[in-house]
Amino acid sequence: MRPISYLRPDGTQDGIESALRAVATDPGSHFLAGGTTEVDLLRQHVLSPHRLVDINRLPLAGIEELPDGGLRIGALTRMSEVAAAPAVRRRFPFVARALELGASAQLRHMASMGGNMMQKVRCGYYRDAESRCNKRLPGSGCAALGGVSRTHAILGTSEHCIATHPSDVAVPLAALDARIHTRTLDGAHTYDTDAFFLAPGDTPDREHPLTHGELITAIEVPALAMAERSLYLKVRDRESYEFALVSVAAALDVEDGVVKGVRIALGGVGTRPWRARRAEDALVGAVATAQSFDLAARAELGAARTTAMNAFKPELARRTLVRALETLTRDGSR
């Protein structure tokens, strides 16, 4: 038994200050939101906080509509609430769909949007305290390289880590250039998704730029007209309650058969939610045909580096991306 103390600040601005102070000044204190990642890892002895600071009473829930048509989603808003919100479903259908296809109904009712951004990798070696893992214990090595790596990443990997980023909703958020708002004792900060989700490089233990005790307060989704015609496709080993082998978030604007604008991000294949900028560049100005979609997918996946076990992923990703774009061209939003 490990003793863990518990603090639950109240729902005022003072409560926010007290939560920030409690965690920022103590490396052994962690924020607790829905607990669906934190408590799991605590039970598995991967995380070992001596104090949990429950942020659920802080005034950080709800969805605010911004004057330009964007949204500000409070960090404590539950995944299920965001998925059901009419403004999300109408303006950003791929965000709603990515949330609906994540985890299970029970988990989506508990899990918060801020916690989703901060969830840890699903690599089995990370979650097994006995295995070598550079993310959990820097410098110890990576057991997945040469180990069981069927679900691991093919884009943005390094010789130190090949774990995929697990979040579904972070994929359309990357396509939308969403911004993550945070608070520290020094004030407010904002990160673009590109700057927020870090590739492993030489420092796989750093998954985001936040300092210890930095609190996500909200996710800002900028307005994007073409997102009304958007789709999230998730391919996985079973139809529900499973992480993506490959997923695609895409929004498309086609006029007179020519691609005027496109946003694409991939999940299940990258060490971070993978913005497919090469595919986007290849598509803008191209005729919207299966052949252009295929060329764009190949442009993106040319950079893939596979292991013996996940060598199927580039082809699966290519097919999923082409299917997503064909579906959008044919049917509109999903």
Ligand X SMILES: Cc1cc2nc3c(=O)[nH]c(=O)nc-3n(C[C@H](O)[C@H](O)[C@H](O)COP(=O)(O)OP(=O)(O)OC[C@H]3O[C@@H](n4cnc5c(N)ncnc54)[C@H](O)[C@@H]3O)c2cc1C
List of residues contacting ligand X (CB under 6 A)? 30-38, 40, 75, 102-103, 107, 110-112, 114-116, 118-119, 166-169, 215-216, 243
By beta-carbon proximity to ligand X, the closer residue of 79 and 301 is 79
CB of 204 to ligand SF4, least distance (A): 5
Which residues in 186-225 contact ligand SF4 (CB under 6 A)? 204
Give the per-residue contact string, 158-187, with ligand SF4 (x = CB under 6 A; - = no): ---xxx------------------------
Interaction of residue 80 with ligand SF4, rule CB under 6 A? no
Residue closer to ligand SF4 by CB (options 112, 151) is 151
Q: Which residues contact 184 (CB under 8 A, 6 or more apart)?
A: 20, 24, 211, 213, 214, 215
| 135 lies in the site for ligand SF4, by CB under 6 A | yes
Q: In sequence order, what are the residues at sequence separation of 6 or more whose Cβ sits closer than 8 angstroms to the Cβ of residue 24?
A: 184, 185, 211, 212, 213, 214
| Chosen from ligand SF4, ligand X, none, partner binding at 154 (C-beta under 5 to 8 Å by type) | none
Identity of the amino acid at 274: W
Extract the runs of DSSP E, i.e. beta strands, from 77-185: 179-184
Beta pairing partners, 258:
255, 287
Residue with tokens 């991306």: 321
Q: Does 121 bind ligand SF4 (CB under 6 A)?
A: yes
Measured over the CA atoms of residue 130, residue 132, residue 134 and residue 137, the dihedral's sign is positive
Q: What residues contact 265, with CB distance under 8 A and at least 6 apart?
A: 171, 172, 174, 175, 248, 249, 273, 274, 275, 276
Residue 321 contacts ligand SF4 per CB under 6 A: no
Helix (H) or strand (E) holding 282: helix 277-283
Q: Determine the interface stretch with ligand SF4 among 120-128, 183-191, 233-241, 299-307 (rule: CB under 6 A).
A: 120-128
Q: Smallest gap, in angstroms, from Cβ of residue 144 to ligand SF4?
A: 4
In the complex with ligand SF4, the residue whose CB is nearer, 135 or 179, is 135
- At what angle are helices 290-301 and 313-331 packed, to 10 degrees? 150
**Could you say whether residue 126 binds ligand SF4 (CB under 6 A)?**
yes
Strand 71-74 and strand 215-221: pairing?
Answer: antiparallel
In the complex, least distance from residue 334 CB atom to ligand X, rounded to whole angstroms: 18
Q: Is 273 exposed, middle or buried (0-12, 13-18, 19+ CB in 10 A)?
A: buried
- Find the binder of ligand SF4 among 76, 83, 99, 133 (CB under 6 A): 133
By a kind-dependent CB cut-off of 5 to 8 A, residue 204 interacts, out of ligand SF4, ligand X, none, with ligand SF4
Which is closer to ligand X, CB of 35 or CB of 124? 35
The residue (of 152 and 275) whose beta carbon lies closer to ligand SF4 is: 152
DSSP 287-324: B-SHHHHHHHHHHHHTT----SSSTTHHHHHHHHHHHH
Give dist(CA 208, CA 117) in Å, integer. Answer: 9
Rounded to the nearest whole angstrom, what is the least distance from the CB of residue 135 to ligand SF4 in the complex? 4
Q: What is the nearest approach in angstroms of ligand X to the Cβ of residue 234?
A: 8
Q: Where do contacts with ligand SF4 occur on this chain (CB under 6 A)? A: 121, 123, 125-126, 133-135, 142-144, 161-163, 204
